[in-house]
Amino acid sequence: MLSIIVLFYLLMVGYVGYVAWRRTKSSEDYMVAGRNTHPYIMALSYGATFISTAAIVGFGGVAANYGLGILWLVFLNIIVGIFIAFVFFGKRTRKMGHNLNALTFPEFVSRRFNSKFIQYFSGAVIFLGMPLYASVVLIGMARFVETTLQINYSFALVAMAIIVAVYVVFGGIRGVMYTDALQGTIMFFGMIILLGAVYWMLGGVIDANQALSNLVNIVPQNATAKAVATGFTGWTSMPSFGSPFWWTLVSSLILGVGIGVLSQPQLVVRFMTVKSNRELNRAVLIGGVFIFVMTFGAYVVGALSNLYFYQHTGLTAVQASGGNLDTVIPTFIAAAMPLWFAYFFMITLLSAAMSTLSAQFHVQGTALGRDIYETLSGKTGGSSVLVARAGIVVAVIIAVILGFILPASVIAVGTSIWFGITAAAFLSMYVAALYWKRVTKAGAIAGLVSGSLTSLFWLLFGFKKSAEAVGISKVLTGKTVIITTLPWPTVDPIIIALPIAIIATIVVTYLTKPPEKEFIDKIFNGVERK
């Protein structure tokens, strides 16, 4: 059964990748799919790229630990990640990208501000920072395969990376988006089946949620003492305001990902693949329904897994999974679901991982080939695509290496760190590029550099989860973090770095000469037309 399911799935992916390869004939096809993508494919590609094993496995495990307070992220994912992103960012990005003839996100902001520095600096942030995100997506899939099929983790990690690399290297963005649409469809139905099965197993929506609420008073005190001390109040309520649990949940997991989605380069480039605003309008509903089902389903299942494990083992989900949040969902599926569903859901997670990884590897490759190599060497055309393909291979190798050395319970943390980095580095510049004609090149650079450096500094010296893992602060200062007073060690870099980037952009803009009117008029030509 497993062999038939996996073979059929890989044949479908292979065929779709082959079709994409046949239709990829130019650098524009490779980078932005010829700018004529169907709205269904665009919406599913956007959603499947956004929702990965990081969301299902990583954040499902987070929901098992922090509870249903994580559902606020569903609200932000739909309102910010879909509605605001498509309506207020997508339409302007599509038109301005066409006016600027931009093929990547760094190229878009570079040409908007007429600055090569912005392009290769942004490309470097992507190429150097995104491997963290790619590796945690790989880890999520490999952990599920390891738990479900009893296959060696290392083998699963490497095999996944190779399969994705092949169709991205040859198919470009078409290969990425076509396979995304297929994989997104599989993910959608897989999550609906899982959510329905879990509620049916636990006695229905009302009974299951009530039992989960009551669980906090039933679980032995020694199992929840540590959580209660950090602000935990139950799996159906928010942590105590201002507690370490609250700061981690709100600043890192909810705000970091909920706001950081707007500045994800692999998502922004999707807006430049459609030919008109009509396609974006049609994609909003498709994308919104998809994101809701995937995120709501994953978070609710993660939280409810505590009820299942307590009823069957007397343990919480995190305890039953050996304390590793990244194995909660795989352990739950293996324990609670029939074998055929475990295989089917493995395909769902395989789809989630491959759709996100393909976009990550593609954007890293184009960052190296188009944004760094072309900008610095001045060479274009075939050599740029060749370097981009080489960059994809390098990105895959780095992600695999990180997959071997990153610690447990890292998936959600790694995701939120990457989303926070992009928000700090790109968001102030990106918003100004779309809506503020007065903003200057110097202002954009100030926001980009200050946001990037502040975010990096806080990750290494202020944010405990990352600073402790890297160890630079400990070596230089003798302390894990430079400020040990709560809540600072649990405050995400986005809370510090994004305001600094915004202030730097505004202040430097008003201290420098406005851009030429003719230059701005050309960029905004047709952008503000309804």
* Separation CA 52–CA 66 (nearest Å): 20
Give the tens place of pLDDT for each residue, 183-193: 788 888 888 99
Domain 2-423 -> CATH class: mainly alpha
For residue 470, the SS3 value is helix
- 32: Cα separation from own chain's centroid: 20
Model's pTM, two decimal places?
0.83
Residue pLDDT tens, the chain, 530 long: 777 777 887 787 777 777 766 666 555 555 544 455 666 777 777 777 677 777 788 888 889 988 899 999 999 988 988 888 888 898 888 888 888 888 788 889 999 999 999 998 998 999 888 888 889 888 888 887 787 777 888 888 888 788 777 766 665 556 666 777 777 888 888 889 999 999 999 989 999 999 999 887 765 444 444 555 677 888 888 888 888 888 888 888 888 888 888 888 878 877 877 777 777 777 788 888 888 998 999 999 999 999 999 999 888 888 888 888 888 988 898 888 888 888 878 777 777 777 777 778 878 887 888 788 877 877 666 677 788 788 888 888 898 899 898 887 788 888 888 989 999 999 999 999 999 999 999 999 999 999 999 999 999 999 988 888 888 888 888 889 999 888 889 889 999 999 999 999 999 999 999 998 888 988 888 776 64
* Separation CA 67–CA 49 (nearest Å): 25
Residues 6+ apart with CB under 8 A from 241: none
Give the tens place of pLDDT for each residue, 82-111: 888 888 898 888 888 888 888 788 889 999
Encoded amino acid at 450, one letter: S
Encoded amino acid at 41, one letter: I
The single-letter DSSP state of residue 321 is T
Rg of the chain over all Cα atoms, to the nearest angstrom: 22
* Separation CA 491–CA 255 (nearest Å): 11
Residues 6+ apart with CB under 8 A from 339: 1
Residues 6+ apart with CB under 8 A from 528: none
Give residue limits of the domains in the chain: 2-423
Give the tens place of pLDDT for each residue, 132-156: 888 988 888 888 778 777 788 888 8
* Separation CA 404–CA 402 (nearest Å): 5
Residue 84 dihedral angles phi and psi, to the nearest 5°:
-65, -40
Give the tens place of pLDDT for each residue, 408-419: 778 888 888 898
